[in-house]
Structure 1
Amino acid sequence: MTRSRRSGFTLIELLVVIAIIAILIALLLPAVQQAREAARRTQCRNNLKQLGLAIHNYHDNYGCIPIADVNGSSTPISAHARLLPGMDQAPLFNLVNFNVPYNHVNNDPVRVIQVPAFLCPSNTDGLPSTLGGRNNYYWNAGNGIVMYDSGLTGQPAANGVIYHTRKIAFRDVTDGLSNTAAMAEKMTGDGSNGVSSPRTDTFQPGTYPTTPDEALQQCNAMDPADLSKQGYSNVGAPWLQQYHSTNQYNHVLPPNGRSCMYPPGRISTTANSQHTGGVHMLLCDGSVRFISENLDLKIWRSLGSVAGSEVLGEF
């Protein structure tokens, strides 16, 4: 009598198959994550292109880059709000009350809305939803340490594309539209001055720099773990507010570096992102470039001025 044999896996064979599957998953997972990040970077780049088109559309209609604050308010409506019609957001634009501050109750319905094109999909978010819609795309305020027009003796006025009450036209960008930054990425904050997040917090060293180089040295010299140096953690919200930590940055410290604020009215917030190695930047001509975090600081600063007559190298 012939006895039939059962076919099947031995325990050892099963363990080998499981180990092989685990190895394949371990090999594939980074590739999947890289593919997803590549898609997110592409979307982030497209968001900036859309903003660039909206800026040019606004300039065609009004002869200037969007102005941040017509009335010189201390709580101004952002220049982002003026781009909304050029981004297929006319209904939202019509809800903005430009006659009252951004945090007035009349603007609450707008303040809490998240505009998808203002948010990089790679960004991680730690902000409370009560702040309002978040923003990752900041206006270039120049390569100086003054937040707006100078009220500080001996300090030059801000020289970027955005001011409180000054209208900057493309004809004023004498350095060339392709050599001058309009916007760049910036990550949102952790929402708490009780937590130190060196990449996203705006720190307050308590010093009084008089030059960009001094601002760089003093910002990098402080200890970010010292919670008494916390300046601003609600970075990136609401997009409806025009402020150095909600939608404007400076070309003082390098991209992906630390950000600092100094009393009175001195600032050196910088661009940063979750993307490895650098940040996306929108130039005034509407093109988008990925800027290395290792870019020569002189070139980075030159990209920040509208009329500095600097000679740029490769970037």
Structure 2
Amino acid sequence: MRRALTIVELLVVISIAGLLMAIVLPAVQQARETSRKASCKNNLRQVALATMTYHDARGRFPHGYFIIAGGVGPDARAWSWLARLLPYAERNDLYDRGRVGRATLRQSRALHEQVSIFLCPSDEYSLRGPRGDAGDLEGMAVGQTNYQGVTGANWGADGSQQLADIGTDWRNMGTNGSYDGLDDGDGIMWRSDYRRVRSLRHVEDGVSHTFLAGECAPQRNRYVSWPYANNAYATCAIPPNVVPVEGRDYSPNWWPNVNGFRSHHPGGLHFARVDASVAWLSDAIDLAAYRARATIAGGD
């Protein structure tokens, strides 16, 4: 007859099992995040490759804001640069079915679609499906994106508030209500760039040193959509991940803070450069160096 385990022996077994779980579980989670991080990097690279294929075909970068008629909101044709990439990312079906650039956002059958290369696998909120809780498109189900175009680093600065005067005090960005960096950015993508074409010849810093797009994870109270132009770009005026993904408040509550780059990855985020390479950036990057990589001007 076999002897039953004593209470002490049972507690020892439970303790050993708990210890093993404490050792193994973090390793499993880390391995999963490493895999998701690699997939995220590849998705962003596909976005960059599609952008450069667009450039090769048309001789310019896609505009950050395509307004064919109307202003903003569901009855406008304010399609984003990401929407224009669909034919160059093997999604002609969605581009044609959604009548991108021809239909208004309200009319389009593409608005609610999720596009796999626009999503980071580490973002469980985006992977749940389209959302309908943002500003101009309130109540409409809209596909999300984790990647946005880089407007540069001058968002929120105007003639009375230059970046050089602000220095590293990013919290002062935009308190004067300036839209200068939004409508006339010093990076590749910005809202009103349909008024001025940008191409490789404008990238004076070199294609391997200049940011094209980066991670900008949607927040719980503010999503980022791929079809709508107002949701498709962000700024390097403030440090990366300085406004947390889980955050609901911004200080000050102004667009540069709302539209800074951020991710669900611990310690940093990915940026695609103009040569379609993708780099990992630490949250601890020097702010001046970070801003310099976001602009197309040489010598900064």
Q: TM-score, normalised by structure 1?
A: 0.73
- Partners in 1 of 2:251 and 2:92 — Cα distance? 35
Shift of 1:46: 0.4
The residue number in structure 1 matching 2:94 is: 92
Shift of 1:308: 4.5
Shift of 1:83: 0.8
**Kindly tell me: are residues 37 and 64 of structure 1, through their superposed partners in 2, closer, same or farther at Cα, counting changes over 3 Å?**
same
The residue number in structure 2 matching 1:194 is: none
**Kindly tell me: are residues 99 and 133 of structure 1, through their superposed partners in 2, closer, same or farther at Cα, counting changes over 3 Å?**
same
Could you tell me which runs of 5 or more consecutive residues in structure 2 were left unpaired when the two chains were aligned: 73-77, 133-139, 158-176, 244-249
Does the 8 A contact of 1:136 with 1:247 survive in 2?
A: no
Shift of 1:158: 1.2
Shift of 1:289: 0.4
- Partners in 1 of 2:56 and 2:84 — Cα distance? 13
Q: 2:49 aligns with which of 41, 53, 75?
A: 53
Question: Is 1:255 paired with 2:240?
Answer: yes
Q: 1:83 aligns with which of 82, 85, 102?
A: 85
The residue number in structure 1 matching 2:122 is: 122
Deviations 1:219-263 (A, max 9, x none): xxxxxxxxxxxxxxx231x310011xx220111000011367878
Question: Is 1:135 paired with 2:145?
Answer: yes
The residue number in structure 2 matching 1:313 is: none
The one-letter code sitting in structure 1 at the alignment partner of 2:123 is: N
Larger radius of gyration: 1
The residue number in structure 1 matching 2:218 is: 188
- Partners in 2 of 1:43 and 1:153 — Cα distance? 37
Report % sequence identity: 31
Question: Is 1:177 paired with 2:207?
Answer: yes
- Partners in 1 of 2:285 and 2:71 — Cα distance? 34
The residue number in structure 2 matching 1:69 is: 66
Does the 8 A contact of 1:124 with 1:188 survive in 2?
A: no
**Kindly tell me: are residues 260 and 117 of structure 1, through their superposed partners in 2, closer, same or farther at Cα, counting changes over 3 Å?**
farther
The number of residues matched between the two structures is: 252
Q: 1:41 aligns with which of 37, 40, 43?
A: 37
The one-letter code sitting in structure 2 at the alignment partner of 1:49 is: R
- Partners in 1 of 2:251 and 2:260 — Cα distance? 9
- Partners in 2 of 1:184 and 1:69 — Cα distance? 20
- Partners in 2 of 1:177 and 1:80 — Cα distance? 20
Q: 2:186 aligns with which of 150, 156, 159?
A: 159
Shift of 1:8: 4.3
Does the 8 A contact of 1:260 with 1:267 survive in 2?
A: no
Could you tell me which runs of 5 or more consecutive residues in structure 1 were left unpaired when the two chains were aligned: 192-233, 311-315
**Kindly tell me: are residues 14 and 184 of structure 1, through their superposed partners in 2, closer, same or farther at Cα, counting changes over 3 Å?**
same
Shift of 1:173: 0.8
The residue number in structure 2 matching 1:22 is: 18
- Match of 1:178, SS state, is coil
Deviations 1:55-77 (A, max 9, x none): 11111111111113153752310
- Partners in 2 of 1:292 and 1:38 — Cα distance? 15
Question: Is 1:298 paired with 2:288?
Answer: yes
- Partners in 1 of 2:69 and 2:298 — Cα distance? 26
Q: TM-score, normalised by structure 2?
A: 0.77
Shift of 1:124: 3.7
Q: 2:227 aligns with which of 240, 255, 259?
A: 240
The one-letter code sitting in structure 1 at the alignment partner of 2:84 is: R
Shift of 1:10: 2.9
Deviations 1:259-303 (A, max 9, x none): 67878xx64521111111111000011000011111111111111
- Partners in 1 of 2:42 and 2:67 — Cα distance? 29
Shift of 1:14: 2.4
- Partners in 1 of 2:43 and 2:5 — Cα distance? 53
